[in-house]
Amino acid sequence: MFAAHGGFSLDRDKLRDVELGLRMARAGRKIRLDAQVKVRHMKRWRLDRMVRTDVFDRAANWTQLILRERRMPDDLNVRRAERWAVAVLFALLGACVAALWRPEAGWAAVGLGAAYLALNAGLLSYFRRVRGAWFAARSVPLVMLYHACCAAGFAVGCARYLFPSAR
């Protein structure tokens, strides 16, 4: 199947596997993801590298592929719950800022914070199960940063798509 569909596209340096999967799906091929398969990326992550990768290599490239294909998948990094998490995060940040001037907006922030945690309950529960409750609690700001990176990458991807020569 890999060779029959042209293998990885050599005209792109990121998300080659995703782009190949999109071509195969467009050709009517079924791709089955096996949640039982576990892999570990052997990278030494630093915060600056994580942000750069999430914005410019993942989210921006995903956005460009989605816009080019004119199809929004409901899988992997672009699941509906992930998109909602980004929207709720920004509403939460807005409510926190509003609460500086209007204290009653603090209640909206509390509700949005609870909604954000609920949207990420599966991931946080996994962190708790594997590394403990303290690790899960400390990971919330990084999960929030990840979703902020998704939003920034969406903006970068839209700009790249709309203005390809500006890249």
Residue 11 has pLDDT above 80, yes or no: no
Of the candidates 92, 98, 90, the residue with the CA atom closest to the CA atom of residue 150: 90
* Residues 19 and 94 grouped into a single domain: no
Q: Is residue 41 part of a domain?
A: no
At 50-61, the pLDDT tens digits run 999 999 988 998
pLDDT > 90: what percent of the chain?
59
Give every CB contact of residue 115 below 8 A, 6+ residues apart in sequence. Answer: 88
pTM of the model: 0.81
At 25-40, the pLDDT tens digits run 889 998 887 889 988 8
Domain count, the chain: 2
Give every CB contact of residue 23 below 8 A, 6+ residues apart in sequence. Answer: 5, 6
What is the span of the domain harbouring residue 62? 46-166
Confidence bin at 167 (pLDDT 50/70/90): low
* Residues 96 and 114 grouped into a single domain: yes
